Amino acid sequence: MVSASPSGIIKTLTLPLASGDHIIDPPVVLAPMAGITNAPFRTLCREQGAGLFVSEMVTARALIERRTETLRMIVPGKGEWPRSVQLYSVDAAAMKSAVTMLGKENLADHIDMNFGCPVPKVTRKGGGAALPYKRRLFTSIVQAAVEAAKPFGIPVTVKMRIGIDSDHETYLEAAMSAANLGVSWVALHARTAQQMYEGKSDWGAITRLVEHLKPTGVPVLGNGDIWSGDDGLRMAQETGCAGVVVGRGCLGRPWLFTDLVASFKGETNRHLPTLFEVREIMYRHGELMVEYFESEDRGCRDLRKHMAWYLKGFRVSSALRRQFGLVSSLKEFRALLDQLEEQPYPVAVGDAPRGRTSHGRPVTLPDGWLRDPDEMAAIELEDAFSGG
C-alpha cells in the first residue's frame, strides 16, 4: 500500500507487519548484497536514513540445518527493526520449512525472496534470476512462502530481474503470479541476468511493471543505477514506482541514504560529507565489525574490502591506501584515519557508478533449463552463500 503527495511523488510505503502497519517514509530500501549487508553495514545505513534494510541472502536449506554462519547472518543489529531476511531456495518444501522456522522462533518481521541473483554458482543450479523461467516452480515456491508466513503475520516480498536475457524475459508474468499469490510488493532490478551489472538499467521496464501490476494494487519498487538522491527521486518520477532499492550505490557511501531522504522530502541542498566526516563513519564501521564478529582480527579483515569505496575520489596517497587495505586492528585503523587531510566531498567521482561492474555474459544454466518453462525440476543448493 502506498500514498502520494499532492505533487504525485510517492512519499510513503506500507509494510503490513503482525504488530501493525510499518510506514517506510521515505520509501528507500537497502538491497541485500553478498558479503556487504551484514548487521554492521545495515546499522550504518539505518543511521543515515534507510527505511528498510535487508540481510544478506541466505539459503533456506542452510537455515533449517541451523548452520552457524547462516544464523549469524540473520542476527539484527542493536535496535534494528523491522528485521528483514532475504531467503533463497529452488525447492518449495525447503522454503516452507525455512519461513515456518523464522515465524515460530520469531527471527524475522519481513521476508524477501531472491529471484534476481545472476552469479553462475546460483543460476547453474536453476536459482536466482534463472528460476522465474520455470513458471510452475516459481509459483510453488512463492506460494509456499506466503502461506507459511501468513499465520505469523509476516509479509513476503520478491526481488527479481527482467529475465535471463532479452530473449527470455520473465518479469511481467512472474510478478503478476507473485502479486496474485499475495506478496506485499515486487522489486525489480531493471537488468537481465545476462547483463550482470554492465551498462544502464532499463527504467522503462520498471514503468511497464508498474502499469502491469496496477490492477492488483501491489506496489513495485525500482532498483538499478541509483547513485545519488536525485537519481532515486528521478526514478520515482519517471517510472511511478512506489519506492527505490539501493545496492551498489551505497558501497562506501552509507550517507547516500541521507541524500535520498533529502531528495524525497523536496530539499535542494545536499549534505555531502567532508573527508573528516567520512573517516568517523569509517571508524564506526570498524567498531561495529569487531563487535559483530567478536574478533578484532576478523572484523578488520572483513572491513578491508570497504576501504577503496570509502576513499574513492579523495586525494589519498597510494602508500596510505595500501595500508588501509591491510588494516588489522582498531588502533592501527585510527592511526591511519588520523593521517587523512580534510577535503570536500568529490561530487564528480563520488556520484559515479561503483561496486561490481561485471561484463555481460551468457547465463550459466542447468542442462536443458530452457527446454520447458513448465517443468518443475530444480537442484537445491547445499552450501550457504550470499547473493545480490
How far apart are alpha carbons 90 and 366 in whole angstroms?
13
Reported for 302-310, long-range contacts at CB under 8 A and 24+ positions apart, including other chains, are 302/35, 302/38, 303/327, 303/333, 305/35, 306/251, 306/252, 306/282, 307/282, 308/252, 309/251, 309/252, 309/253, 309/354, 309/355, 310/252, 310/253, 310/278, 310/281, 310/282
Most confident among 8-17, 60-69, 262-271, 374-383 (mean pLDDT): 60-69
SS3 for 65-116 is: CCCHHHHHHCCCCCCCCCCEEEEECCCHHHHHHHHHHHHHCCCCCEEEEEEC
Can you list the alpha helix ranges (DSSP code H) found in 294-381?
296-303, 307-311, 318-324, 330-337, 347-350
SS3 23: strand
For residue 179, give the C-alpha cell.
502479486
| pLDDT score for 384 | 38
Beta-ladder partners of 157: 112
| pLDDT score for 352 | 72
| Domain limits, CATH 1.10.1200, in the chain | 275-344
CA count, 13 A, side-chain hemisphere, 350: 24
Asked if 28 and 166 count as a contact pair (C-beta separation under 8 A), the reply is no
- Decide if pLDDT at 1 tops 70: no
SS3 257: helix
For residue 249, give the C-alpha cell.
550505490
CA distances from 348 to 87, 302, 312, 345 (A): 36, 28, 11, 9
Greater model confidence, 35 or 277: 277
Greater model confidence, 352 or 55: 55
| pLDDT score for 158 | 98
| Domain limits, CATH 3.20.20.70, in the chain | 2-264
Asked if 384 and 60 count as a contact pair (C-beta separation under 8 A), the reply is no
| pLDDT score for 286 | 98
Q: Would strands 10-17 and 2-4 be described as parallel, antiparallel, or unpaired?
A: antiparallel
368 burial (CB, 10 Å; 0-12 / 13-18 / 19+) is: exposed
- Decide if pLDDT at 91 tops 60: yes
DSSP designation for 223: E
Asked if 15 and 52 count as a contact pair (C-beta separation under 8 A), the reply is yes
Whether 117 is a known active-site residue: answer yes
pLDDT tens sequence across 275-328 = 999 999 999 999 999 999 999 999 999 999 999 999 999 999 999 999 999 999
Nearest to 285 by CA among 246, 260, 254: 254
- What's the distance, CA 243 to chain centroid? 13
- Decide if pLDDT at 253 tops 50: yes
Residues in the chain: 388
- Decide if pLDDT at 49 tops 70: yes
| pLDDT score for 380 | 46
| pLDDT score for 381 | 42
How far apart are alpha carbons 176 and 387 in whole angstroms?
24
| pLDDT score for 6 | 34
For domain 275-344, give its CATH number from 2.20.25, 1.10.1200, 3.30.60, 3.30.70.
1.10.1200
| Arch. (CATH architecture) of 2-264 | Alpha-Beta Barrel (3.20)
Percent of the chain, pLDDT > 90?
83
pLDDT tens sequence across 330-347 = 999 999 999 999 999 998
| pLDDT score for 7 | 38
Considering the entire predicted model, what is its pTM?
A: 0.91
Average pLDDT value for the chain: 91
| pLDDT score for 361 | 83
> Which of 119-133, 194-208, 260-274 is predicted least confidently?
260-274
